[in-house]
Chains A and B, each alone.
Chain A
Amino acid sequence: MLQSTMLHIQARQTFSRTCNFAKRYLATAAPSKIHVGILLKRNPVILRKLTEFEHAYYTYRESLEQAESRPFHREFYFKKGSTAEQRWLDAQDAAAAAAERLEGGRTPLVQPRDEELAGLETAERVTEADKGGDVKSLDRALERTLYLVVKKADNGSWEFPAGPLEGEEVLHEGATRHLHSEVGSSLETWVVGRTPVGHIAAQDKKTFYMKAHILSGKIEPNKRFAQDFAWLTKQELKEYLQPAYYEQVHKMLAEF
């Protein structure tokens, strides 16, 4: 009984000592402000161009498949004497004249040209924005990921949009709110989850970066925060961002 009372008193003393210690420690360290940064990205729009080796490999595989495939049963897919059958046969005859013979004397099958699709033109992989180097356009570098950077109003350096959290809001709420205030409220974005993808700890503040996708809208930079903006790939960001800043953020960015 005496032993348990002694232990209890010891525990209480230890607890109060640690409390005082904690109070003294915390009193000297100033609470750091939490800022939220936004990594707004536009995903690739088109597939990347195949390398020479890949192109050769797929061409080779396709020719093998054509050569080894089972014969095409025309009578199953087309009714005898129908216009669809005639169209298909004309397309094969036209292709046979131009194409080279495969093993077994078969020519590769072709699809007849569709009238609906005849009027369509495929868009260019290299757009006007690419040729003009218009970094404000989202139509540039269609096969790459583009990130939004803004030129800060106070020191003119290029950085990702960032700002302090207000009130009791959490990171993903603060990200949307700050993004709208910095680059315009007509944006439609999707913040990926509630977990930040990276952080930068400075002396007075910690900035946690939230990843977001742009769905639609126009960037209208708010003069209070940002003088200018640009949509850049990871390689271009290396030239625009400060080297120290780039070192801290480049691992958050997708390679392609």
Chain B
Amino acid sequence: MHARIATKSTRSVSSQRGWASHLLRRQGTFLPNATLATTATVPVPSVQEPPVFRARLEEHYYNSLLEDLMVLTYDHTSPHASLSHLSKTRDWNRRLPETPLQSLFSVPVERLPTVPASETTTNILTLENARVKDVVLKRKFRKGLFNPIDYTTVLKEKYDAREDAPPPPPYAPLPSRLPIVSKVMLRIWSEAAVANKTILLSAIMSLQSITGVRAEPLFATVGDASKKIREGMPLGARVELTGVKMYEFLDKMTQCVLPRLREWDGLNPVGDDNGSITLSLPSTAIGYFPDIEPHFDMYPRLFDTDIVIQTTGKSDWETVLCLSGFQVPFLKERVVAQEEEVEDANDPWAKFRKPKTREERRAMAEKLKKMHQAQQGASKQ
């Protein structure tokens, strides 16, 4: 048995909870999603809580949109598109078990929680405490890895370089492979809360109104003395939506808010190429939500909100296609930051220029890779 040692990190976590504990919802008894035996392989992302009503966008997706997505993304050259391959997949041979309700609701005794999940727990042996908490680690090697043997440093780009992401799985006309919206995350970050943290209550209230879910406060992870920010200071709020509440939010946004945005023609169809796409709503737009508009005066301050829509698409194109089906408007052309045209080999200042955009960083990483490969090739010969 391990006693929990009071370290600096745990102290700060508990102090954060102390500040916001009156805002955190008391959790009732629940079975973790992982313990429910599911046979479905249709894209059904984990739900936040059991639905209270049926979402029309969800019905639209399963009745009409899924078929159209299958046709629009169809790739006959894919090895997984042939009938001989499909007929062997699990999706194709999906059959209900003989006693479906029993298998759906039966949970092995070993996997039952020992006590109901509760945040006000003092028993360190409960599941709640056994779970690995999401702790923000401090960045240790800020100035580059220092090699004490020959006193050289490693370039930040090389140190931060990661393996390329694996290529997306080949296309298959199966519902489990087709894109679906899985999560929507809303985030407010306001450094004005440094002076007066009660303005965050307005932020949390506005997020709660438009989503119907309790918002969590966000805390500063790094301090900035010039802006008077200390680590652990509450400066923002966030909320994550899944399931029916997510579809309702998307519905409200596309029907009520986006059409009323001024000088805005659509989202930029550029995401992280892995299913996520971001949108930033100005504070004026938050007032267009039907939950806020009638009581507009009761919110002392509304904030710019960042919205991240996460889908199960494997590329930007799939994400944009899926969201277009939900009437999210997009610009006709991608708006990408242009690289500077100063690609002179003789430029003595080139190595001191820091790459600013993601495209520049990628170009720099590729150039380094090529140089490294050329060096390796030269050394082999």
Measured CB to CB, the residues of A under 8 A from B are 43-44, 47-48, 50, 54, 58, 61-62, 65, 68, 76-79, 84, 145, 192-193, 195, 197, 211, 254, 256
B71 at the binding interface (Cβ < 8 Å): yes
Residues on A with C-beta less than 8 A from B53 are 58, 62
A197 to B76, CA, bound (A): 12
A84 to B296, CA, bound (A): 13
Q: Is the CB of B68 within 8 A of A192?
A: yes
A selection of 14 A-B contacts at a CB cut-off of 8 Å is A44-B63, A47-B54, A50-B54, A54-B54, A58-B54, A61-B52, A65-B52, A76-B295, A145-B63, A192-B68, A193-B74, A195-B74, A211-B71, A254-B64
B51 at the binding interface (Cβ < 8 Å): yes
B136 at the binding interface (Cβ < 8 Å): no
Q: Output the nearest chain B residue to A210 by Cβ-Cβ distance.
A: B71
Residues on A with C-beta less than 8 A from B54 are 47, 50, 54, 58
Q: Is the CB of A58 within 8 A of B297?
A: no
B67 at the binding interface (Cβ < 8 Å): yes
Tell which of B52, B68, B205 touches A58, judged by Cβ atoms closer than 8 Å: B52
Which B residues from 46 to 65 make CB contacts under 8 A with A? 50-54, 56, 59, 63-64
Instruction: Knowing that A68-B28, A195-B71 touch, tell me 14 more A-B residue pairs with CB under 8 angstroms.
Output: A47-B54, A58-B53, A58-B54, A62-B52, A62-B53, A65-B52, A76-B205, A76-B298, A77-B295, A77-B298, A78-B295, A79-B298, A197-B71, A211-B71
Tell which of A54, A145, A192 touches B71, judged by Cβ atoms closer than 8 Å: A192
Residues on A with C-beta less than 8 A from B205 are 76
B6 at the binding interface (Cβ < 8 Å): no
Q: Is the CB of B51 within 8 A of A58?
A: yes
Residues on B with C-beta less than 8 A from A68 are 28
Q: Output the nearest chain B residue to A193 by Cβ-Cβ distance.
A: B72
Q: Is the interface of B mostly helix, strand, loop or mixed?
A: helix
Determine the interface band of chain B, counting residues with CB < 8 A from chain A.
Answer: 20 to 34
Residues on B with C-beta less than 8 A from A43 are 63-64
Q: Output the nearest chain B residue to A44 by Cβ-Cβ distance.
A: B63
A94 to B295, CA, bound (A): 23
Residues on A with C-beta less than 8 A from B63 are 43-44, 145, 254, 256
Tell which of B51, B67, B72 touches A254, judged by Cβ atoms closer than 8 Å: B67
A77 to B74, CA, bound (A): 50
Q: Is the CB of B74 within 8 A of A44?
A: no
Q: Output the nearest chain A residue to B76 by Cβ-Cβ distance.
A: A195
Residues on B with C-beta less than 8 A from A79 are 297-298
Q: Output the nearest chain B residue to A64 by Cβ-Cβ distance.
A: B52
A130 to B198, CA, bound (A): 58
Q: Output the nearest chain A residue to B66 by Cβ-Cβ distance.
A: A254
A61 to B49, CA, bound (A): 11
Residues on B with C-beta less than 8 A from A254 are 63-64, 67
Q: Output the nearest chain A residue to B55 by Cβ-Cβ distance.
A: A47
Q: Is the CB of B71 within 8 A of A47?
A: no
Q: Is the CB of B71 within 8 A of A44?
A: no
Q: Output the nearest chain B residue to A43 by Cβ-Cβ distance.
A: B64
A193 to B72, CA, bound (A): 5
Q: Is the CB of B72 within 8 A of A192?
A: yes
A67 to B236, CA, bound (A): 31
Q: Is the CB of A47 within 8 A of B59?
A: yes
Residues on A with C-beta less than 8 A from B71 are 192-193, 195, 197, 211
For the complex of A and B, list the 10 residue pairs with the smallest distance between their C-beta atoms, beginning with the closest. A193-B72, A195-B74, A61-B52, A43-B64, A192-B71, A193-B71, A77-B295, A192-B68, A62-B52, A65-B52
Which B residues from 279 to 310 make CB contacts under 8 A with A? 294-295, 297-298
Residues on B with C-beta less than 8 A from A58 are 51-54
A211 to B54, CA, bound (A): 28
Residues on B with C-beta less than 8 A from A50 are 54
Residues on A with C-beta less than 8 A from B298 are 76-77, 79
Q: Is the CB of A61 within 8 A of B74?
A: no
Residues on A with C-beta less than 8 A from B68 are 192-193, 211
Q: Output the nearest chain B residue to A77 by Cβ-Cβ distance.
A: B295
**A47-B56, A47-B59, A192-B72 given as contacts; is B51 within 8 A of A61 (CB)?**
yes
Q: How far is the CB of B124 from chain A (nearest CB, A)?
A: 29
Tell which of A61, A78, A195 touches B50, judged by Cβ atoms closer than 8 Å: A61
The 8 A CB mask of B328-366 against A (1 = contact, 0 = none) is 000000000000000000000000000000000000000
Q: How far is the CB of A115 from chain B (nearest CB, A)?
A: 13
A22 to B206, CA, bound (A): 72
Q: Output the nearest chain A residue to B295 by Cβ-Cβ distance.
A: A77
Residues on B with C-beta less than 8 A from A65 are 52
A84 to B294, CA, bound (A): 10
A84 to B295, CA, bound (A): 10
